[in-house]
Amino acid sequence: MKKIVTILGARPQFVKAAVLSRIILKYNTIEEVIIHTGQHYDANMSDIFFDEMEIPKPKYNLAINGLSHGAMTGQMLLKIEEVLINENPELVVVYGDTNSTLAGALAAKKMNIKVVHVEAGLRSFNMKMPEEINRILTDRISDLLVCPTDTALKNLEKEGFSAIPSKIVNCGDIMKDAVEFYGKISAQKSSIISTLNLQTNKFVLATIHRQENTDSIDILKAIFEGMEKISVKKQVIFPLHPRTKSILDKHNLKYNITFIDPVGYFDMLELLKECDLVITDSGGLQKEAFFNGKHCIIAREETEWVELVLNGFAKIVGSNTSKMIKAFESFQNSLANFKVELYGNQVGEKIYSEILKVL
């Protein structure tokens, strides 16, 4: 039986990998070995996902975290290489745009192991984002580039990938499969709505964690001031990322926002189902909002998921407080059709089929 290694490190990657792992187990034609780099090390940001989603626990946990980008990526490269030497797989699968993604792709490619990049071709065109650097470099050395949208595929074509010996396919967004599958069972797995005593459409769900927002105290303040003004009209529920928490604590910043600990995937799905709308700088949450029929206010200057903005499901406001308030008000009267097809269907099955072709 041929073997593949899947490399994970951050919360969104666990969700995406759960879809493909479930399909691999169903067909039982290839062996999957999972490496967890440890990039997300908080139990609520990591371990809970494997327990909740009933996917195979990682065979390897490298416990690499809390370091600078260079140190983290370098240590991951070293440790992943050691595992790949031991496991000798035919192929390595990486997801998204984290340091774990880049380190996994580099380690595999330098050993002449094929690389599959799920979520290839996404671009923010902002080279100040570490994620943008990671995704560009990972795309360039991947053998199979699995794009989630036509826009992502066209980005690769514009960058000259037609002249590079790699295969490019648009299979759709694998996150859609996860939301559809786990959304059917999340109500039985989660009690967060009753625990927090929340009412449908009476609260806003918010998350802020990206480096470009947390590294500038002025930007972070502007974003939170916008959310605080919104909280006068609707309660703001904010699962607090460890990075954001440490900065708020450091500067003793207090806001009239309901901060809660990081939540598991089922809790997040229930919050998405019941909220009025979403405010976030997370790429994954932008789409999860759409899949759950919710508008999204994007606290960034750009988005990789341009379809959401072009179709009126999301608005980019950056750290502009007045823009955030206007977006919130405009979405209160929106009658958008969230049934429009943007991100494909049966995505995991399509990706599995493409992987078999390159094995």
| Helix or strand holding residue 8 (H, E) | strand 2-8
* Count of residues in the chain: 359
CA atoms within 13 A on the CB side of 242: 11
Catalytic residue among 36, 117, 209, 241: 209
Provide φ and ψ at 297, rounded to 5°: -100, 120
Instruction: List all residues 6 or more positions away from 92 whose beta carbon is below 8 Å from its beta carbon.
Output: 4, 5, 6, 7, 84, 104, 105, 107, 108, 113, 114, 115, 116
Q: Tell me how far apart the alpha carbons of residues 144 and 78 are, in angstroms, rounded to a whole number.
A: 23
Distance CA 170, CA 119 (A): 9
What sign results for the dihedral spanned by CA atoms 289, 341, 52, 40?
negative
Greatest C-alpha distance within the chain = 59
| 69 noted as active-site residue | no
Phi, psi of 88 (to 5 degrees): 50, 60
In angstroms, rounded to a whole number, what is the distance separating the alpha carbons of residues 297 and 314? Answer: 6
Strand partners, 239: 260
Is 133 in contact with 127 (CB distance < 8 Å)? yes
- Catalytic amino acids? 209
